[in-house]
Every structure is written in structure tokens, then in C-alpha cells.
Chain A
Amino acid sequence: MIEAFNPVVLFDLLILVLLIICVISIARTRDLVRAAILFSVYSLTLCLLWVHRGAPDVAMTEAAVGAGVTVALFLVVIARVGRRER
């Protein structure tokens, strides 16, 4: 458990806590637009973790697909089905 005080590991732990907060907020909100934007935040945070873990290829995919295109598609669908979860 000494390892947890290593700054490199500490940064990872911070990001993981942020990810968990994001995921719980996504699951709890009833506003679909807010959920989509929170999903974008989640992807960008995860992208930081990939960069920090030395996987820039995965980080680029995460930023482009997760934070960009997926959220755009979500928003178009939300524009059709209505903003509130029933």
C-alpha cells in the first residue's frame, strides 16, 4: 500500500475517482442532454488516463470517438426523442 503515495499512482487514483463520480452522475441524472455531456467529460478524463499510461493511440481514439462523435450522435437522437427520461 506504500505504492499509493507514489505521485504517478496518485494521479491515476485521482482520475479513477473522477471517472467514478462521472459514471454515478450519468446514471442518476434524468436529463438526457446532461447525461450526454457528462459522458463526454467521462471520455476526456479517461483520455487523460490513457495518455498517462503511455497509450496515445488509445487516447486519440477515446477523445475522437468517445468525447466527439458518439456524443454528437447522442445529441441528434435526443433532439428527436425528447430531452427528459421517462
Chain B
Amino acid sequence: MKRRAYKLLVVALGLALLGGLLWLPPPGQPGGPVHEHVAARYVEGGTEAAGAPNLTTAVLLNYRGLDTFGEVTVIFAALLAALAVLGVGAAARNASGTGKPRVDARLPASPVVNFIIRLMAPFMATFAAFVMIQGDVLPGGGFQGGVVLGAMMILLSVAIGPDRVSGMVAPAPLGWLRAIAPLVFLVVAVSGLALSGAWFGLSDQPALGHALMVVLELAIGMGGAAVITGIYLSLAREVE
């Protein structure tokens, strides 16, 4: 009886949503409402005004820089909170001397996997840096590059062990590295306010805009990679 009621509810909701689709304007029409209003202005003059040929980056880091600042703060706060929760248990075990890499012991990687990871890691790191730095010209940016870098660190910790990966950065700079994205955004936003009277105001200077974008992308990327690697390591080093 209850199951039938749930099914009925799901079908009714689905039909309502499908019905709502009929009211949407047809996709891909040049005269559609999405392409008028502000979007038309972004497409027309966005590259010159924001200094980024990739309009997605222009909107993210210049037109809507303050919104991205909020987004970055929320995302990194959530990630750091997850990391803190995971770290409490690991720290207690490390103090009692029982913290051992667990996944490493249970799933020994084959020599083929090991070799491929060692071979590909430098290329993956280069690609990640390329995606971050070229984020204002080509598709991609800090988030994407950071996640690629984090994925490379996860692969590396499968090949050479979590302990050697977590030893790459000393604990004190690691804390700052994890928080670097919101901090750099804060510095750019406030310095713009102080020097030109508007949040992120410096991004409107043609000479500075490009450099600031690269700095912001790099900060998001390095911070994201550090946090993702940290979450993976604290999960992988847990013991039962």
C-alpha cells in the first residue's frame, strides 16, 4: 500500500515536471530569451571588457567575481570541514601508534599499474598546470586543473604509497595551501576595493586583469588539489 502510494507520487511528480518542460522556450534558437538581455552584451564585448577570450572564465572571474568569491569560500569551507572530521580519528590513531596505510596493504598495485602511473604522472601534472594557466583562453580553469592534479596525486599514492605522498608538503605550509583559494580571492577583492573603489576593481585594468585571472585560477587549482588529496589520504590511511 505504502509502496504503491510512493510510486504514484513519483509518477505524478514526473508528469508535472515533463508538463513544465512544454512551457520552456525551445533550445538552440538564436532569438531565445537566454540570448537576449545581459548575455548578448557579454558575447558582444565580454572579451575586450573582461580580458578573457573564454567567456565562461570572463563571467566567473570578472563579471561575477564576487559571486565566485562566495562560491569558493563555501566550497572550501565544506571541504575543510570534511577534512577536519576525517582528521580527528586519524590523528588519534597516529598518536597511539596504530595508524598504518590500509588500502595500500589490502590492494597491492600490479607492476603494470605502477609503471603506467609513474610514466604518466609528469604529463598529468603538466596538463593540470596548462588547464589552470590557460583557463582564460581555452575551456577549463582552476577547478578543472585542480581536480586533475588531485587525481594525479591519488594515482601516485596508489603507486608509491600514501605515506610518501603525504610527506611531499610539510604540515605547516599544507594548512595554508589548503586555504589559499579563499585567501587569494579575499586579497584580490579587497585590494580592488582599496585601490579602485570596487570589489575586484583591479580586474578591469587591461594590463592587470589577465595576470589576476591567472593568479586566481592557480590559487583555486592548487588549493583544490591539496584538499582533494588530503581527503583521499585521510580515508586511505584509516585503519579499522
Interface residues of A (CB under 8 A from B): 3, 8, 56-57, 59-61, 64-65, 68-69, 72-73, 76-77, 79-80
Chain B: minimal CB distance from A65 (Å): 5
* Distance, CA A65 to CA B141, complexed state (A): 13
Q: 10 closest A-B pairs (Cβ-Cβ)?
A: A56-B139, A64-B147, A60-B144, A76-B235, A57-B56, A68-B151, A57-B139, A60-B140, A72-B154, A65-B147
Q: Given A57-B141, A60-B144, A68-B148, 11 other A-B contacts at CB below 8 A?
A: A8-B28, A60-B131, A61-B143, A68-B147, A68-B151, A69-B147, A73-B231, A73-B235, A76-B235, A80-B235, A80-B238
Q: How many A-B residue pairs have CB under 8 A?
A: 52
Contact for B151 among A3, A69, A76, A80, CB less than 8 A: A69
* Distance, CA A73 to CA B228, complexed state (A): 9
Chain B: minimal CB distance from A2 (Å): 12
Q: Across the interface, do B144 and A79 meet the contact criterion of CB distance under 8 Å?
A: no
Q: Which residues of A contact B232 (CB under 8 A)?
A: 72-73, 76
Q: Across the interface, do B26 and A3 meet the contact criterion of CB distance under 8 Å?
A: yes
When A57-B141, A79-B103 are in contact, do A69 and B150 touch as well, CB less than 8 Å?
yes
Residue pairs across A and B with Cβ atoms less than 8 A apart, 12 shown, are A8-B28, A57-B54, A57-B57, A57-B140, A61-B143, A61-B144, A64-B147, A68-B147, A69-B154, A73-B231, A73-B235, A80-B240
Q: Across the interface, do A79 and B131 meet the contact criterion of CB distance under 8 Å?
A: no
Q: Which residues of A contact B102 (CB under 8 A)?
A: 79-80
Residue B3 lies at the interface, judged by CB distance under 8 Å to chain A? no
Q: Which residues of A contact B143 (CB under 8 A)?
A: 61, 65
Q: Across the interface, do B139 and A60 meet the contact criterion of CB distance under 8 Å?
A: yes
Residue of B nearest to A64 (CB): B147
Q: Which residues of B contact A72 (CB under 8 A)?
A: 151, 154, 232
Q: Which residues of A contact B147 (CB under 8 A)?
A: 61, 64-65, 68-69
Which of B57, B228, B240: most chain A Cβ within 10 A? Answer: B228
Which of B103, B143, B144: most chain A Cβ within 10 A? Answer: B144
Q: Across the interface, do A64 and B235 meet the contact criterion of CB distance under 8 Å?
A: no
When A56-B139, A61-B144 are in contact, do A69 and B107 touch as well, CB less than 8 Å?
no
Chain B: minimal CB distance from A15 (Å): 14
* Distance, CA A61 to CA B148, complexed state (A): 9
Chain B: minimal CB distance from A82 (Å): 11
